[in-house]
Amino acid sequence: MEEGEVQAQWPGTKVAVRAGTTFTLAQPQTILSTGEAYAAMGENGLPYTMYFSGLPLYHIRTPHAIVDDPKVPAILTGWSGSELLEEQAIAIEIRGGSSQFYPKKSFLIELRTDTIGDEEMDLPLLGLRSDDDWNLQAGYIEPNRSRSRVGMELWSDIHTVYYAEEEPEARTGVRMNHLELFVNDVYQGLYTLSERCDRKQLKLKQHNGSIRGELYKGIGLGGSTFTSIPPPYAESAVLWGGWEHEHPEGYPNWGELSELVTLVVNGTQPGLHAELRERFHLPTMVDYHLFINVLKAEDNTGKNIYLARYDAGAPYFYEPWDLDATFGLSWNGQFNVDPYLFLSNGLYARWFTDLTEGGFVETMCERWTELRSGPITVSGIMDRFRSLYDHLAAQGVYEREELAWPAYTHDPDHLDGLESWLEERISYMDQELTAYCRLVSVPERQPEVAVTVYPNPASGRVVVEGAALRHGAVVEVVDGLGRMVVSTTAVDGQATINVSGISTGSYLVRLAGHVQITRKLMVE
């Protein structure tokens, strides 16, 4: 309840507050304000510190220990303004691998018809969608408990699902609302109640005797990063190659996903880029790549990522998940991570060699220009952070976080450091993308000139060979600004270049003095 409502209902001097039991204020108060601490004495004779909050309050009671698995029955009670959630049966478990090791746990809750059976029920909570499954995210490593929410809101502003005309209720990303949580009468601090990224959120087609819509969650490396081909799969397995199958339940489509990974890892020119554009929804993949790079979401290139498909034969696309370790924050809570790394994975490494008209790099360059005049600005992103921070700080939640979790220290200057980091990050991206975009305008080689560059992408030595490379010819590797970064001379139609000492990115390999003899090279 907001403080104005308190004053309207209980004008005059307040000497006690009734909240289950009576708490007598140490000093009578004419006005009770949110975010302020008040000394009080309980009926049991013990001293208390009392706060008023305008945030929703949720209370979970259970006689069972809450563990990772299985879910245990509990009762959820909630207050949010005039909305009262009274004696709602739930099942609860700890959510997330890292949460096991933090004192403040994230939870997954499932709404049920009663505490005895396992029949699920849907309810809309805190103005979000109607559903039975919900995440309560602790945000333990995150200084202001706001990165995931701000990141998801930014993604929703950047991107709309490409099939929105067919599915107007489909939502990209998930929505979140903050609340304060108690478990068995013990204050747990600030949490975010979150929708889940699933078939229902994305409105993926359901199984109707054949596999239509699909959803996979990236939980590891290898296949989910498109960097290596995993071992053979078992048809009914839930896990394969760093992927966890989500939809349709019981019907994984590992065969097609395996073909997709193999195409990306082993596919060769010509025709690779055209096939990638057919198998993936290019505008969505471009949006996702730019988004995770703005946030520098290093955990979201293979883990904390969803690969989805709307219908059978439709293109695959990415969806983000779990954005705590973003905006300069590492997975362990360390802030001010180096803002100068351009993120990629095996799929994007292949796409960065697509300099054709309408290809990946050209699409990315055009999209970046659009976003820089829209939601991707330092001031726009920081307005999101500051508005949410001001709202939470006015409720006094950061003071209460320090009381609930002694290892947590609230830093009121954290947003200033985040803004400095973001300025450097976006400036760096402007420079990097300018260099990549210059490559789009480089003339393509004449088809009759046979020159081959392999391996490509490369991380060590690159071989350039062809009849045009006469003995002593100079072969150069050139960056996006036209600067030569390394060169060598050809011997008997072949040149070997060591690229292990140059930065990751897109380059040109050219025969000095021959404008028409150029090849694109991706260095990993």
SS3 string of 304-330?
CEEEEECCCCCCEEEEECCCCCCCCEC
Residues 309, 241 share a domain: yes
Is residue 155 domain-resident?
A: no
Residue 7 has pLDDT above 70, yes or no: no
Q: Which two tokens stand for residue 155?
A: 């993604």
Mean pLDDT (whole number) for 32-36: 88
Whole-number mean pLDDT of the chain?
90
Which pLDDT band, with edges at 50, 70 and 90, does 504 fall under? confident
Residues 303, 266 share a domain: yes
As a three-state string, the secondary structure of 239-257 is EECCEEEEECCCCCCHHHH
Q: How far apart are CA 511 and CA 477, in angstroms?
A: 9
What length is written for the chain? 524
Contact 401, 410 (CB under 8 A): yes
pLDDT at 445: 40
Cα–Cα distance list, 140 to 94, 152, 191 (Å): 14, 18, 9
Residues 349, 212 share a domain: yes
Q: How many CA atoms lie within 13 A of 413 on its CB side?
A: 2
Q: Which two tokens stand for residue 179?
A: 């609340």
Which secondary-structure segment (H or E) carries 440? helix 414-440
- Give the rounded distance of the alpha carbon of 340 from its chain centre: 19
Is residue 392 domain-resident?
A: no
Output 476 or 286, whichever has higher pLDDT.
Answer: 286
Residues 85, 42 share a domain: no
Q: How far apart are CA 56 and CA 416, in angstroms?
A: 28
> Which pTM was predicted?
0.82
Contact 386, 415 (CB under 8 A): yes
Q: Please name every residue paired with 216 in a beta bridge, in sequence order, or none if there are none.
A: 245, 307
* pLDDT-wise least confident of 123-127, 337-341, 439-443: 439-443
Residue 185 has pLDDT above 60, yes or no: yes
Q: Please name every residue paired with 194 in a beta bridge, in sequence order, or none if there are none.
A: 135, 176
Residue 402 has pLDDT above 70, yes or no: yes
Domain end among 50, 69, 84: 50
Contact 466, 449 (CB under 8 A): yes
Q: Which two tokens stand for residue 393?
A: 């700080």
Q: Which two tokens stand for residue 36?
A: 């302020």
Contact 288, 320 (CB under 8 A): yes
Mean pLDDT (whole number) for 148-162: 97
322-348 pLDDT per residue, tens: 999 999 999 888 998 899 888 999 999
As a three-state string, the secondary structure of 398-415 is HHHHHHHCCCCCCCCCHH
256-274 pLDDT per residue, tens: 999 999 999 888 877 889 9
Residues 226, 121 share a domain: no
pLDDT at 75: 97
Residues 235, 98 share a domain: no
Q: How far apart are CA 517 and CA 276, in angstroms?
A: 25
Is residue 46 domain-resident?
A: yes
Structural domains of the chain, count: 4
Give the pairing type, strands 47-50 and 133-137. Answer: unpaired
- Residues spanned by the domain of 94: 57-138+168-194
Tokens 């999209």 belong to which residue?
A: 367
Contact 261, 229 (CB under 8 A): yes
Q: How far apart are CA 457 and CA 507, in angstroms?
A: 10
Tokens 């699933």 belong to which residue?
A: 198
Residues 340, 233 share a domain: yes
Q: Please name every residue paired with 123 in a beta bridge, in sequence order, or none if there are none.
A: 131
Is residue 387 domain-resident?
A: no
Residue type, 517: I
Q: How far apart are CA 57 and CA 49, in angstroms?
A: 17
Is residue 403 domain-resident?
A: no
Residue 307 has pLDDT above 50, yes or no: yes
Mean pLDDT (whole number) for 129-153: 96
Residues 114, 87 share a domain: yes
pLDDT at 4: 61
The share of the chain scoring above pLDDT 70, in percent, equals 95
Residues 88, 227 share a domain: no
Residues 39, 179 share a domain: no
Mean pLDDT (whole number) for 304-309: 95
Is residue 397 domain-resident?
A: no
Mean pLDDT (whole number) for 89-94: 96
Residues 181, 259 share a domain: no
Is residue 347 domain-resident?
A: yes
Q: In this structure, what DSSP letter does residue 345 have?
A: -
Is residue 394 domain-resident?
A: no
CATH code of 511's domain: 2.60.40.10
Mean pLDDT (whole number) for 349-361: 87
Residue 443 has pLDDT above 70, yes or no: no
pLDDT at 446: 42
Burial of 305 (0-12, 13-18, 19+ CB in 10 A): buried
Q: Please name every residue paired with 217 in a beta bridge, in sequence order, or none if there are none.
A: 244, 306
Q: How far apart are CA 436 and CA 502, in angstroms?
A: 15
Residue 442 has pLDDT above 70, yes or no: no
Mean pLDDT (whole number) for 394-421: 95
pLDDT at 471: 76
37-57 pLDDT per residue, tens: 999 999 999 999 999 899 999
Which residues are within 8 A (CB) of 478 and not within 5 positions of it... i.e. 6 or more apart? 484, 485, 507, 508, 509, 510
Mean pLDDT (whole number) for 408-420: 95
Residue 444 has pLDDT above 90, yes or no: no
Residues 459, 434 share a domain: no
